[in-house]
Structure 1
């Protein structure tokens, strides 16, 4: 049954235990939540806030460290904690889609701690999604790193069962894991990560991982074959990944970054196509990861694409936030009682002073 709802989506805040980012996303977010969510909530309208990955900096931490880091982040940003608690107390549903920088959120103890912090009265108002968030007919959301070989974690669903300690680092994370080591040592770590990723890709196609996919399809209320095809849509291949990895290393050493263009990722149309094939078409496909805010059509599909960009200072797109660092991208999708939707990419600016 359809019912009126509003979905607000933003991503890549990269909140840490410090506040060193020049755009200070942890200071800006509370005002955004008050003005755009709490103060504008229409009576009776179901509201959802979706953080589309890389909300927190938890990468390469074990379970105990992840719990401690989460506590330190909210201790450093008490206004953010209070604003999120106020949203949850008002009945707003909070969703956290895991990215490559906060996949540790999927660990059950870490997810439970996040829920307890943000909604102590009703932890069910906070949800952590290791991979996808899907709402029939309306939207599908993923961070998008699983379609990028350098960041891909093939067995991501194992995070919610065994924790990230049992999931191999993707190549780029292996390069950054020990920054004080020699370049030769770090290159060796990347090579080992490539071998591990190839092995993981083979395990994704075995019955043991199919069981995790089946469980995920039940959670998502999505056709099991569709879920399997989505999980295997992208694949790590060493031959194609190594040159890209080497290029990224050289650019990073030179203090440069890859900004990319204004086109959706190649996987976006294929995701929409798989869902449509299995009778699960959505009006919107939302991802993040590239730090390039974008809204566009998808070739050969009625599904519209949005990338929610970043609230950090590492803006790589060509939108208004590149020239105006007080422009913070987010998306709004409104769902009417009849199931029709409208919305799109927006830019929010803090009130002066």
Structure 2
């Protein structure tokens, strides 16, 4: 059986119920899908949204369902083009990010599939944690390796919804915009304590049942999945000063700069390689810094798909040219060999 396929991966569109982003990712995406994806012929076609596709977090189940529909109604051309992709055989994948974790709710993921592909809902797949294509790629949003945004019991979201999951420290700070600094600091302290407790529950037998189920979905050994779940861990001693630094820099209109592959990416790739489940590409997002680089001490190559919204933080071509939209492309031959890399799409000049 041929393994030939082409994968397009992009992230951080942050589509909202309004359309006030100056870069207008919702207006640019349909052109990319039509000219790059639908125009392609030959192998299987997959489009992966590597998290933060929607502004969809912090809502109840009913609110999440209503908000998802309102976002798609606001971006009608995007909505219709995604429907066209699914109808023409393109497999659509949505990896959950910290801004659209609500997609992990079974009812919300089912609604997304029904809206985008009513005839064949299986054309739309939601990945609460990460997408794994054996021997080819892993795609995860990346917030699980960032203490300020990490949700330790991530898989519980996909089973019980997000109700009851505690906010990460930075999210707890932003959740009280009208509160005093003291009350907001208290929210961060409570979030840190809740995250510490959640990390202990990740190591419990009850959570291990979820990991076993996820290992079957991911086609990975249970021990490997268990190790990956514990690869990054929330620690108050490092998270609190990092949170404080982020808050101060954000108030000054600045951000923490990093132009290299995160250490967690290397740990993730080496963990897979050590278990004979290595992949050619590790693809993540979250930082809004488009980047391609090798990973230390393994054969996997790293790509960060940056962002299509106006909050560009990297020093790539998209910083000086806001009509350069980053994405990753991975081609797989019938023999399973891969090629690809970071690309930039230009609405007027092509990729």
Q: What RMSD in Å do the two structures reach over aligned CA positions?
A: 0.9
1:330 corresponds to? 327
The Cα of 1:150 is off from its aligned counterpart by: 0.3
Q: Distance between the aligned counterparts of 1:185 and 1:261, measured in 2?
A: 31
State whether structure 2 residue 12 is matched by structure 1 residue 12: yes
* 1:158 aligns with one of 156, 159, 174: 156
State whether structure 2 residue 315 is matched by structure 1 residue 318: yes
The Cα of 1:2 is off from its aligned counterpart by: 4.8
CA 1:7–1:14: 2 relative to 1, 3 Å: same
* 1:350 aligns with one of 339, 344, 347: 347
2:239 corresponds to? 241
Q: Distance between the aligned counterparts of 1:18 and 1:145, measured in 2?
A: 25
- Structure 1 stretches of 4+ with a deviation exceeding 4 A read none
The Cα of 1:42 is off from its aligned counterpart by: 1.1
SS of aligned partner of 1:13: coil
* 1:186 aligns with one of 175, 184, 198: 184
The Cα of 1:251 is off from its aligned counterpart by: 1.5
2:110 corresponds to? 112
Q: Distance between the aligned counterparts of 1:221 and 1:25, measured in 2?
A: 33
Q: Distance between the aligned counterparts of 1:236 and 1:19, measured in 2?
A: 35
* 1:88 aligns with one of 86, 89, 92: 86
2:75 corresponds to? 77
Q: Distance between the aligned counterparts of 2:164 and 2:133, measured in 1?
A: 30
1:148-195 deviations in Å (ceiling 9; x for gaps): 000000000000011111211111111111211111111110000000
What TM-score does the superposition give when structure 1 sets the normalisation length? 0.98
List alignment gaps of at least 5 residues for structure 1.
Answer: none
1:340 corresponds to? 337
1:278 corresponds to? 275
SS of aligned partner of 1:150: coil
Map 1:261-300 to 2 at 5 A: 261-300=258-297
State whether structure 2 residue 226 is matched by structure 1 residue 206: no
What TM-score does the superposition give when structure 2 sets the normalisation length? 0.98
The number of residue pairs the alignment matches comes to: 349
Q: Distance between the aligned counterparts of 1:78 and 1:302, measured in 2?
A: 41
List alignment gaps of at least 5 residues for structure 2.
Answer: none
